[in-house]
Amino acid sequence: MISTADPQTVANQSSLELLNRSVADELHAVHQYMYFHFHLDDQGLGPLARLFKQTAIVEMGHIEKLAERILFLKGEVEMAAAESVATITDPSAMLAKAAEMEQGSARDYNRAAQQCAALADAGTQHIFEQLVADEESHLDRFEKQLDHIKRFGPSYLALQSFGALNEPPGAE
Ligand SMILES: [Fe+2]
Ligand SMILES: [Fe+2]
């Protein structure tokens, strides 16, 4: 019989808490980025709108990975966003908010990976390590856009709205 003091059960519980906290963080990112997407699209800023939509889809994939692991560990997926959406409609402020969110996620997932290593849960650790790499690449894309706006001013966004850029900014 497994008691609550069983080391493996304790380890699973800790991993499940980290995983569910991350699901909440990812849900917040999906909501926030789709909100940005709708508003940028409405403002005629297609490429930047697409960047946020594409990133939201990646974050949704993160939820799937986390949820699969939660179910493998016999937990329940808690589908509640960590925060409500910030009603930001200025493109630069959106990018600053998104960069801050990605930085926070990368930091949290790095820490979670270390905690999972200490719990001898290499499977969950590996998922968090993959997430760190993804969030850092999102951070890089958002920071590049912020940098372009700073360097080229409002004309950079105006060119986007005239369709001068066919590809979403930051796309490889
Ligand atoms: Fe994510
Ligand atoms: Fe991200």
Mean pLDDT of the chain: 91
| Residue 2 within a domain | no
| Residue 104 within a domain | yes
Considering the entire predicted model, what is its pTM? 0.89
| Residue 143 within a domain | yes
**119 close to 15: Cβ distance less than 8 angstroms:** yes
Arithmetic mean of pLDDT, 161-168: 56
Centre of ligand 1 to C-alpha 120, Å, is: 23
Closest ligand to the CA of 51: 2
- Note the pLDDT of residue 69: 98
Task: Give the whole-angstrom CA distance, residue 111 versus residue 95.
Answer: 24
Centre of ligand 2 to C-alpha 4, Å, is: 35
Percent of the chain residues topping a pLDDT of 90: 80
| Residue 168 within a domain | no
| Residue 36 within a domain | yes
Task: Give the whole-angstrom CA distance, residue 90 versus residue 94.
Answer: 6
- The count of domains in the chain is 1
Closest ligand to the CA of 108: 1
Centre of ligand 1 to C-alpha 58, Å, is: 7
Tens digits of per-residue pLDDT, 51-66? 999 999 999 999 999 9
Centre of ligand 2 to C-alpha 12, Å, is: 25
Centre of ligand 1 to C-alpha 162, Å, is: 31
Task: Give the whole-angstrom CA distance, residue 143 versus residue 147.
Answer: 6
| Residue 129 within a domain | yes
Q: What CATH number should be reported for the domain holding residue 21?
A: 1.20.1260.10
| Residue 166 within a domain | no
Q: Is 161 exposed, middle or buried (0-12, 13-18, 19+ CB in 10 A)?
A: middle
Range of the domain at 65: 9-77+86-161
User: Per the structure block, which two tokens stand in for 77?
Assistant: 């997926």
- Note the pLDDT of residue 166: 53
